Amino acid sequence: MLVIDLNECDEFMAGDGSLLRQLLHPDNTQVSCRYSLCHATVKPGQATRSHRLRTSEVYYILGGQGLISIDGESQPVRPGQAVYIPPHSIQYIQNTGDSYLTFLCIVDPAWRAEDEEVL
């Protein structure tokens, strides 16, 4: 059994400007999985930089409120919502609230630096 505590995961700034904690990735966990799972945070008034992945991605909103943009189409997001981001889509998310915007990022197959382009 593998149980991972978010508070024990190192926080780092991603290329898009979000704060990430990597929970699961096939390169650094003892489980065999093809996806990666990260916890992301965007501070109030900030947005991630526009970027695209070669792979699909899902955001699951945990807290705060925001505006997500995918290929020029924008929509408000709130806790309890999941957003599917198709491969090669230009995307960013903006925190429109006064508290942290937190969400899970599921990338399948697992995120790799060479699969991401920050615009």
Confidence class of residue 54 from pLDDT cuts 50, 70 and 90? very high
**Structure-token match 């400007």, residue found:** 17
pLDDT tens digits along 67-112: 999 999 999 999 999 999 999 999 999 999 999 999 999 999 888 8
State the pLDDT at residue 29.
64
The two structure tokens encoding residue 83: 């957003």
Amino acid at 26: P
State the pLDDT at residue 111.
83
C-alpha span between 76 and 74 (Å, rounded): 7
Could you write out the DSSP letters of every residue in the chain?
A: -----GGGSPEEE-TTS-EEEEEE-TTTSSS--SSEEEEEEE-TT-BPPPEEESSEEEEEEEES-EEEEETTEEEEE-TT-EEEE-TT--EEEEE-SSS-EEEEEEEESPP-GGGEEE-
Is the pLDDT higher at 58 or at 112?
A: 58
Catalogue all structural domains in the chain, each as residue range(s) with its CATH number: 10-113 (2.60.120.10)
What's the rounded mean pLDDT across residues 42-68? 96
Tell me what the pLDDT averaged over the chain comes to: 92
C-alpha closest to that of 77 among 95, 52, 99: 95
Asked whether the predicted pLDDT for residue 38 surpasses 90, the reply is yes
